[in-house]
């Protein structure tokens, strides 16, 4: 049986059994954010969709972002534009229609990885602690407090180093670097 047809692959796959660069190139086409969602959204209507139609079906995505993504997908050969005018609709190419089984396999493969990662429960923002108490709060108190607090929800182990107070910049230096009010 061909190792590409069975889910029980051998522990070692010969390096020449796949074209690694072609696989990387294919993933780079599918990889940009909202590409998969766009490809999965378009066939649900069964008709060509305009940018605003695709954007309406994707949560929290602007028409501008969808437009940019569809232009990129058009250049990559994943969608075709039905006409040359601005506002013309898009349809999937045969190549993008064939991505359905690929997405199914990747989803199946990633299921075991998703089970391994369990996020820690969120910690309320009220438990944030001010780490730099020696620095006076500015006129925009809420922003300054947010900038000077490190939430307990994020463990210090995620940072490359422990938080350190920043050295005070002399007033002479800040006076020189302040922008002038004249033109």
Q: Which residue is it, tokens 């004249």?
A: 182
Domain boundaries, the chain: 19-112, 123-158
Higher pLDDT, 10 or 86: 86
Nearest-angstrom CA–CA distance, 20 and 110:
20
Higher pLDDT, 16 or 105: 105
pLDDT at 8: 62
> Tens digits of per-residue pLDDT, 78-137?
999 998 888 889 999 999 888 888 888 888 888 887 777 666 676 665 555 556 566 565
> Tens digits of per-residue pLDDT, 31-68?
888 888 888 888 888 889 999 999 998 888 899 999 99
Residue from 86, 106, 89 nearest 46 by CA: 89
What are the beta bridge partners of residue 49? 90
| pLDDT of 166 above 90 | no
Q: Which residue is it, tokens 């922003």?
A: 143
DSSP secondary structure letter of residue 170: P
Contact 103, 36 (CB under 8 A): yes
Q: How far is CA 161 from CA 152, 165, 169, in A?
A: 16, 12, 22
Q: Which fold has domain 19-112?
A: Arc Repressor Mutant, subunit A (1.10.10)
Higher pLDDT, 174 or 47: 47
pLDDT at 64: 92
pLDDT band at 3 (very low <50, low <70, confident <90, very high): very low
Contact 91, 82 (CB under 8 A): yes
Nearest-angstrom CA–CA distance, 95 and 129:
52
Q: How would you classify the pairing of strands 90-92 and 79-81?
A: antiparallel
């Amino acid at each position: 049986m061909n190792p590409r047809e069975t889910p029980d692959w051998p522990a070692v796959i010969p390096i020449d059994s796949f074209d690694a660069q072609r696989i990387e190139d294919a993933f780079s086409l599918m990889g940009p954010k909202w590409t998969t969602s766009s490809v999965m959204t378009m066939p649900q209507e069964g008709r060509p969709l305009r940018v605003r139609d695709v954007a309406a079906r994707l949560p929290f995505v602007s028409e501008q972002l969808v437009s940019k993504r569809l232009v990129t997908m058009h250049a990559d050969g994943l969608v075709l534009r039905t006409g040359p005018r601005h506002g013309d609709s898009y349809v999937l190419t045969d190549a993008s229609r064939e991505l359905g089984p690929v997405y199914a396999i990747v989803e199946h493969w990633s299921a075991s990885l998703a089970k391994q990662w369990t996020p820690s429960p969120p910690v309320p923002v009220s438990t944030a602690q001010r780490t730099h108490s020696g620095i006076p709060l500015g006129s925009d108190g809420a922003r300054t407090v947010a900038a000077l607090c490190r939430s307990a929800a994020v463990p210090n182990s995620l940072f490359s180093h422990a938080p350190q107070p920043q050295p005070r910049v002399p007033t002479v230096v800040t006076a020189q670097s302040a922008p002038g009010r004249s033109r």
